[in-house]
């Protein structure tokens, strides 16, 4: 391919590996499809067709001024599915990518999808309000994320990478090179999309979308996730999706696709071929 054109003329970079029953991967903020590298390679080597793409505004995809909302993201996903011809697919979303999965299931009726996965996902609803007391205060997103990004995005992402992977004062579950790679991927994103996506993943309430999950759904989340706390996300999503199986990774941070790479890869292989 490696690019497809969306309905509003945005180029999306698509990686399409292997053959067999498709597995479609949507990535987290502020990264791109390369963040799925270990799992994508293993799935393709196991006989799956793996489709992973860079969200608009990130990686090698176009950087339009607008369209950084979940209706648009789910429409982009629908374009990827249609133009790649993927059918009977397993759809897996990481972090903010879980929102695309949820909105695709409701807005597009889950067309072509036979299984779904939410990994360290923002679904069901992150923002704290009267209906969501376990959520995250609005000030975190405005004052601790968006404001520092505007001031010095590179310094912010260097610090955020440590939080993402659960780096502490004494020990680190990842190498310095992994942290640097995170910074490089984050640097590829356009500033408008980076900022707008904070609003999208923090303010979008996916609870109304949960009833649309009518396929087997795997939910995996780390109990020590400081980026997306487990209570308003995975536990709430599991309670609202009738077909969900929730697996909690004790002590794992947000970036468990790296810190628990082998375990997550094995879980996804089992889920995709079951």
CB 13 within 8 Å of CB 34: no
| CB proximity list for 103: less than 8 A, separation 6 or greater | 70, 71, 73, 74, 204, 206, 209
| CB proximity list for 260: less than 8 A, separation 6 or greater | 222, 249, 252
Lowest mean pLDDT among 1-10, 94-103, 182-191, 225-234: 1-10
Domain spanning 3-273: which CATH class is it, in words? alpha beta
Tell me the domain boundaries of the chain. Answer: 3-273
Q: What's the maximum distance between 2 C-alpha atoms anywhere in the chain?
A: 49
Please indicate, yes or no, whether the overall pTM of this predicted structure exceeds 0.85: yes
Tell me, rounded to whole angstroms, the distance of Cα 170 from its chain centroid: 29
- Check residue 170 and give its pLDDT: 73
CB 59 within 8 Å of CB 33: yes
Mind giving me the DSSP string for 244-266? Answer: EEEEEETT--TTHHHHTHHHHHH
Provide mean pLDDT across the span 141-145. Answer: 98
For 1-49, the pLDDT digits (tens) are: 599 999 999 999 999 999 999 999 999 999 999 999 999 999 999 999 9
Give the C-alpha distances (Å, rounded to integers) separating 45 from 42, 117, 210: 5, 20, 32
**Catalytic annotation, residues:** 95, 225, 254
Is the pLDDT at 216 greater than 80? The verdict is yes
Confidence of residue 176 (pLDDT cuts 50, 70, 90): very high
Cis peptide before 75 (omega within 30 of 0): no
- Burial degree of 177 (CB within 10 A; 0-12, 13-18, 19+): exposed
Helices (runs of H) and strands (runs of E) counted in the chain: 10, 8
Is the pLDDT at 274 greater than 80? The verdict is no
To the nearest 10 degrees (0 to 180), the angle between helices 97-107 and 70-84 is 80
- Check residue 1 and give its pLDDT: 56
Provide mean pLDDT across the span 242-257. Answer: 97
For 92-129, the pLDDT digits (tens) are: 999 999 999 999 999 999 999 999 999 999 999 999 99
């Amino acid at each position: 391919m490696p690019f497809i054109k969306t309905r509003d003329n945005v180029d999306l970079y698509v990686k399409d590996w292997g053959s067999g029953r498709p597995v479609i991967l949507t990535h987290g903020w502020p990264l791109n499809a390369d963040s799925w590298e270990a799992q994508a390679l293993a799935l393709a080597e196991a006989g799956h067709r793996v489709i992973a793409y860079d969200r608009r505004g990130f990686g090698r995809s176009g950087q339009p001024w607008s369209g950084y909302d979940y209706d648009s993201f789910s429409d982009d996903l629908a374009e990827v599915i249609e133009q790649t011809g993927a059918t009977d697919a397993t759809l897996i979303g990481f972090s903010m990518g879980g929102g695309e999965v949820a909105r695709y299931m409701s807005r597009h009726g889950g067309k072509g999808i036979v299984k779904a996965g939410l990994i360290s996902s923002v679904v069901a609803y992150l923002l704290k309000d009267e209906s969501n007391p376990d959520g995250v205060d609005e000030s975190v997103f405005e004052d601790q994320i968006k404001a520092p990004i505007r001031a010095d995005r590179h310094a912010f992402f260097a610090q955020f990478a440590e939080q993402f992977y659960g780096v502490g004062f004494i020990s680190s579950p990842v190498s310095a090179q992994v942290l640097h790679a995170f910074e490089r991927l984050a640097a590829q994103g356009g500033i408008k999309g980076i900022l707008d996506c904070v609003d999208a993943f923090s303010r979008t309430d996916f609870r109304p979308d949960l009833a649309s999950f009518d396929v087997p759904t795997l939910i995996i989340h780390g109990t020590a996730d400081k980026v997306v706390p487990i209570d308003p996300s995975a536990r709430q999503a599991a309670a609202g999706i009738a077909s969900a199986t929730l697996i909690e990774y004790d002590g794992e941070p947000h970036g468990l696709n790296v810190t628990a790479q082998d375990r997550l890869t094995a879980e996804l292989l089992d889920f995709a071929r079951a």
